[in-house]
Amino acid sequence: MPARGEPPPPRVRRCVRRSIVSSVRRRLLALALVNIAFPGTLLAQEPEQQQPIVRVELSPESVSVGEAADLRVTVLVPTWFASPPVFPTFEIPSAITRLPPDSSFPTSERVGGESWSGIVREYRVYPLRGATYRIGGQRMQIRYANPGGQPLSAEITIPDIVLRATVPPGAENLQPYIAGRELKLSQEITGDIASLQVGDAVVVVYTAKLDGTPALFLPRLVPSLDLQGVSIYADTPILEEGPPGRRSEKLTLVFESGGEFTLPGVRLDWWNTGTGKIDTSSVPAASFSVAGPTAVNGPSMRSATNWQFVLASLAAVLAAVTLARPTLAALTSRFHAAKRVHRQSEKYAFNELRGTLRRTLRRTLRRQSTPRAVYHAMLHWLERLGTGMDARRFSTVYGTDELIAAVAQLSVAAYSDSDIALDLSGLNRELAAARARWRKTRSRATRIALPSLNP
């Protein structure tokens, strides 16, 4: 045995070294096995980035057609928002989505013992027909602060949620379907109706107030009128969301002859959501007595004038053919070329659309209508207005709320198996008014774009 202070023999040192190496290897192997079985418990890792939370709530989950379901979307982030989140619009086929007053507001919640910031956005969804609606699947962008670094971005998918809409028993035959807590109809006549004479005018305003449902659910109040001896000028209907929802239609009647004239009354059947039954609101017919000479019709004179015009036109055509026979082929070619150009014009496409509307309206009276032809004719016309112009953009930029609603209902009815009441006369009128606005805007832009003749 070596003396105190002397190094151990080489053999002893080799044995000790082998023992230490073997012990270290066993410990490293044990640590590796533990780390494989429980990852992240032994080796230090970077903390995981906390993702925003998006929560969707629907109340109630089942409603009657025309009633509102409240949709609430809550977005939470661990710090604070670097920019406002971009919420989806939730445009749902066969439904109307609206933002109520003060639809967005801040909130905060505790998540994992920490306070998270949030924003709540509320929507109101009004189903247009009985069906099951699946809401969600849309994505939204969220940017939130990252203390000590650049803001973080996340794209979150909205969770799916289901809304069920049903038509109440007993209301299946309502055409159009109107639902609410109360519906009031009124009629206001302005003018000296007690002593009307030829040349006088009166103003008639029809108003409907619907409590519990948006004004877009209110149909046209006054039917198309054709009173012999009266010129009728209708203003664009006014829609107010309310509450209550309000629709006003104003007519100006100018009496061009004497006689007795009657405006028909207005009657609307609607579903009372408070009592659970069908109620009726109405205003009576309005009669006017106008002093003065009555209109005299001259069908024979007009007929003779028309025949004279036809005969004169035929004579002119025959003379032109006889005198210009050598150039007939060239004229025919130019005529067909001009005809092809005309068929590609916006005016021709719009006239085709209006013709389809009139034919579909006649078939509606015989219960043989199909709105798909109208929808396709409208898309064909919109293609002539320029690249990127679709039905929604055109009705939003140049139309009224009534046109927006009518186009939305037409697009749904075109591919729906169920019968959806369409106001085709109103659609025809609103499209003509919107087209006039489009042409006016286009004319103004063309004048601005033209260079000066005397720079």
Question: Which DSSP string do the residues of 105-157 spell out, in sequence order?
Answer: EEEEEEETTEEEEEEEEEEEEEESSSEEEEE---EEEEEE--TTSPPEEEEEE
Residue 217: CATH number of its domain? 2.60.40
44 found inside a domain: no
Which of 35-44, 236-245, 414-423, 426-435 is predicted least confidently?
Answer: 35-44
**Highest-confidence range of 31-45, 156-170, 306-320, by mean pLDDT?**
156-170
Please indicate, yes or no, if residue 383 is contained in any of the structural domains.
yes
3-class DSSP state for residue 292? Answer: coil
In a domain, 33, yes or no: no
Q: Last residue of a domain, which of 136, 166, 196?
A: 166
**pLDDT at residue 372, rounded to an integer:** 77
Q: Is residue 27 part of a domain?
A: no
Average pLDDT of the chain to the nearest whole number: 76
Do 146 and 188 sit in the same domain of this protein? no
Q: Is residue 329 part of a domain?
A: no
The CA distance from 277 to 270, in Å, is 8
Tokens of residue 368, six digits: 């043989």
The residue among 117, 138, 166 that closes a domain is: 166
Of 159-168, 371-380, 443-452, which one has max mean pLDDT? Answer: 159-168
Q: Of 229, 258, 291, which one is at a domain's C-terminal end?
A: 291
Query: What average pLDDT does the segment 328-349 reach?
Result: 70
Q: Are residues 154 and 211 in the same domain?
A: no
Q: Are 207 and 215 in contact (CB under 8 A)?
A: no
Query: Are both 100 and 124 inside the same structural domain?
Result: yes
Residues 135 and 193 placed together within one structural domain of the fold: no
Question: Residue 122: what pLDDT?
Answer: 92
Domain count, the chain: 3
Q: Provide the token pair at 151.
A: 């803001």
Q: Which residue has the higher pLDDT, 206 or 310?
A: 206
Sign of the CA dihedral running 343, 345, 350, 353: positive
Q: Identify the band that residue 9 occupies on the pLDDT scale cut at 50, 70 and 90.
A: low
Q: Kindly state whether residue 298 falls inside one of the protein's structural domains.
A: no
Nearest to 353 by CA among 245, 438, 246, 430: 430
pLDDT at 397 exceeding the cut of 80: yes
Q: Which two tokens mark 76?
A: 């939470």
Instruction: Decide if pLDDT at 57 tops 70.
Output: yes
| 70-74, 273-277, 323-327, 439-443: least confidently modelled range | 323-327
Cα(338)–Cα(340) distance, integer angstroms: 5
150 and 219, same domain (yes or no) = no
Same-domain pairing of 137 and 237 = no
* pLDDT at 66 > cutoff 50: yes
How many angstroms separate the CA atoms of 360 and 55, rounded?
45
Looking at the fold, whether 146 and 247 belong to one and the same domain comes out as no
Confidence of residue 455 (pLDDT cuts 50, 70, 90): very low
Question: In this structure, is residue 140 part of a structural domain?
Answer: yes
Rounded to 5°, the CA angle 93-179-58 comes to: 50
- pLDDT of residue 120 exceeding 90: yes
**Quick one: 183 and 140 in the same domain?**
no
**Residue 16: which pLDDT band, with cuts at 50, 70 and 90?**
very low
**What is the enclosing helix (H) or strand (E) of 321?**
helix 299-323
Do 287 and 349 reside in the same domain of the chain? no
Between 162-166, 199-203, 352-356, 443-447, the lowest mean confidence (pLDDT) is in 443-447
Query: Based on the domain organization, do 69 and 100 belong to the same domain?
Result: yes
**Amino acid, single-letter form, for residue 196:** L
State which residues form the domain around 119: 53-166
Rounded Cα gap, residues 214 and 246, in angstroms: 8
φ, ψ (nearest 5 deg) of residue 266: -120, 130
Let me know if residue 367 belongs to a domain.
yes
Task: Mark whether 155 and 194 lie in a shared domain.
Answer: no
Query: What whole-number percentage of the chain has pLDDT above 90?
Result: 5
Q: Find the range with the poorest average confidence among 32-46, 329-343, 383-397.
A: 32-46
Q: What is the pTM of this model?
A: 0.47
User: Do residues 183 and 281 share a domain?
Assistant: yes
